[in-house]
Each structure stands twice: as structure tokens, then as C-alpha cells.
């Protein structure tokens, strides 16, 4: 086979890979600008990415013990932070239900559970609620998750108004009391924090999927959680807050694609060199045997 023919075969081999790569680069979706209901005007979350939450803020856990936020940010695992109130008649339950469903999917796909790869910290912003409400809410979601071992990673806190407000303001989470309906109006959002309590990602609404949650935790973990493939995926994808998910990132894909192309070309050149060396060795052996070095049978007169 000639070198030109080998090149044609190699490029036929990598053409599908390059085609998929170019297709993904061209498929970055447009951002969507969703409107807000009238009652939610002025209650948009102010994203404070990279800010530190107040680890010295005091709360009470579901067992009635005095704790600080620092007790849940020990540099080991990323934390999903949820602000709600436990007697909420509508949105809070939907928010926690959606999070629970996504955690079920992560467990089914990747065997991830709270308390192992990450923690969940639900904090009530209603100062009138006490640990009895937190304990009831925790029991219900441990049962809903269906994994008793996840209990160690699910935490429900209540506290005083001053500490609640410190945390809310730190993460940019506004609330408003509706006296007519006798309930709090608030955004639908969760925060993903690093193991040291730095805000890494906001996931808004009720439409984020399990992959987005998982990748947000991998990104926030600072290398402590996730596989090698997760990190490669994050190189190729970027989080679009308006989309609420990770979408293809052209420059990242080009970097990874370029590295893969270099590896493929390097492997191809190495294979060609080895094939050429083998051909030359075979030609040398053949030439030696036909060029006078091959043994001859003795001449009859020499006997």
C-alpha cells in the first residue's frame, strides 16, 4: 500500500469524528429570555458568583442543636443550598420535589447520593419556624429519596431573622410577604457552593436536569468530585444561565478536538514508521538471501 493510499484510509477513518465535532460546534443554542409574572417583579435573584457565604451565621438543625454554616462547609464536598420555608403551600415543595427527582436520577445513573459526593442544605427563611418543622420536612424527603443512607447528607435548618437575612443577602435571594394570601413570595432557585462555601452556580426554575446538577457539583467540587470524563465534558461545555444548562462551548471543543487530532496524527505517523521499518527489515533479509549469502549445496566433484 502506498503512503498516499494510507493517508486516504486514515482520513476516511477520522472523517466521522471530525464531522460530529463540527456539528456540535455549530449547535450552540440561542439564549432564551423568559418573562416573569407580575407578582415576581423585583424578586429576581441577584447572582453573586464567587462570593463567600457567611459561615459564622448561627442556625438550629432538625434535632434542635445550635450550629453554624461552617459545620456544613468543611472543605470536603460541594453543597446544594436551598432557601425556602417548610410550611410553604406551593413553590417550596415543588422546588424540593424537583431537586429530589434529580437526585434520584443521579443515583440511578452514577450512584451519587447526598452525604457521599455532595450535601444538601435547606434553610428556612421564616423565623417563626422551629426545628420540629425542619425534622418533619427532612423525614419526608429521606423517605421520598428512598435511600436511608442519604440522611447524613440532607440538612434542614431554621434560625433567627438576622442570620437568615445575612445569608439571603449574601446569595442575592429576595423575598416578599403577601398579606392577602398570608405567604412568602420568593424566587425559584437553588445555589451550588464549593466545599468552602463560595457560590459557584445558580440553578433557576424547575427545568434543570440531572446532568446539569451533576456537572454543577463537579465544577463546584474543585476537583474533589467527578470522573475524568466529567472534567473533559466541562472543558467542552459552558453553563448558560438563561438556558439553565450546559451547552457546547466552541473554543473548548476546538481545544479538545485539536488535542485528539494531534494524538490521532501522531499515532498514524508512528504506525507508518513501524510499518516502514518492518518493510525495510524484510527487504534486507530477502536481499541477503538472493544476493549470494544463501548457503549452497556442495558440488559433486568436491566429494
pLDDT of 3? 46
What is the rounded distance in angstroms from the CA atom of residue 236 to the CA atom of residue 255? 8
What integer best gives the mean pLDDT of the chain? 78
Instruction: Enumerate residues 6+ apart whose C-beta is below 8 A from 81.
Output: 53, 121, 123, 171, 190, 191, 192, 193
**How much is the pLDDT for 245?**
54
Banded pLDDT at 204 (limits 50, 70, 90): confident
- Which range, 4-13, 216-225, 246-255, is most confident? 216-225
Question: Could you tell me what percent of the chain has a pLDDT over 70?
Answer: 64
Task: For the domain made up of 41-248, give the CATH fold.
Answer: Glutaredoxin (3.40.30)
DSSP 200: E
Distance CA 186, CA 33 (A): 19
Query: Is the pLDDT confidence value at 251 over 90?
Result: no
When pLDDT is cut at 50, 70 and 90, the band that residue 287 belongs to is: low
pLDDT 10s digits, 99-126: 999 999 999 998 999 999 999 999 999 9
CB 155 within 8 A of CB 124: no
The position carrying cell 421564616 is 126
The pLDDT of residue 166 is above 90: yes
Amino acid at each position: 500500500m502506498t503512503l498516499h493510499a494510507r493517508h486516504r484510509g486514515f482520513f476516511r477513518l477520522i472523517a466521522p469524528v471530525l464531522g460530529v465535532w463540527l456539528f456540535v460546534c455549530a449547535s450552540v443554542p440561542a439564549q432564551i429570555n423568559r418573562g416573569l409574572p407580575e407578582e415576581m417583579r423585583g424578586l429576581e435573584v441577584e447572582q453573586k458568583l464567587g462570593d463567600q457565604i457567611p459561615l459564622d451565621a448561627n442556625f438550629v438543625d432538625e434535632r434542635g442543636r445550635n450550629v453554624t454554616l461552617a459545620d456544613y462547609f468543611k472543605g470536603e464536598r460541594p453543597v446544594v443550598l436551598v432557601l425556602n420555608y417548610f410550611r410553604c403551600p406551593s413553590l417550596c415543595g415543588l422546588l424540593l420535589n424537583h431537586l429530589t427527582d434529580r437526585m434520584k436520577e443521579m443515583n440511578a445513573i452514577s450512584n451519587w447520593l447526598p452525604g457521599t459526593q455532595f450535601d444538601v442544605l435547606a434553610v428556612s427563611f421564616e423565623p417563626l419556624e422551629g426545628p420540629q418543622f425542619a425534622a418533619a420536612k427532612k423525614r419526608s424527603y429521606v423517605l421520598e429519596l428512598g435511600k436511608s443512607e442519604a440522611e447524613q447528607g440532607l440538612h434542614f435548618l431554621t434560625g433567627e431573622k438576622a442570620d437568615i437575612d445575612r445569608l439571603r443577602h449574601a446569595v442575592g435571594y429576595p423575598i416578599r410577604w403577601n398579606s392577602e394570601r398570608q405567604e412568602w413570595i420568593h424566587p425559584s432557585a437553588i445555589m451550588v457552593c464549593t466545599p468552602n462555601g463560595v457560590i459557584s452556580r445558580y440553578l433557576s426554575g424547575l427545568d434543570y436536569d440531572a446532568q446539569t446538577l451533576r456537572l454543577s457539583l463537579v465544577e463546584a467540587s474543585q476537583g474533589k468530585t467527578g470522573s475524568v470524563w466529567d472534567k473533559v465534558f466541562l472543558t467542552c461545555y459552558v453553563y448558560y444561565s438563561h438556558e439553565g444548562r450546559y451547552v457546547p462551548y466552541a473554543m473548548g471543543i476546538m481545544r479538545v478536538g485539536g488535542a485528539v487530532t494531534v494524538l490521532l496524527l501522531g499515532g498514524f505517523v508512528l504506525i507508518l514508521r513501524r510499518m516502514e521499518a518492518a518493510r525495510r527489515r524484510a527487504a534486507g533479509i530477502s536481499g541477503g538471501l538472493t544476493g549470494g549469502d544463501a548457503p549452497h549445496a556442495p558440488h559433486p566433484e568436491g566429494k
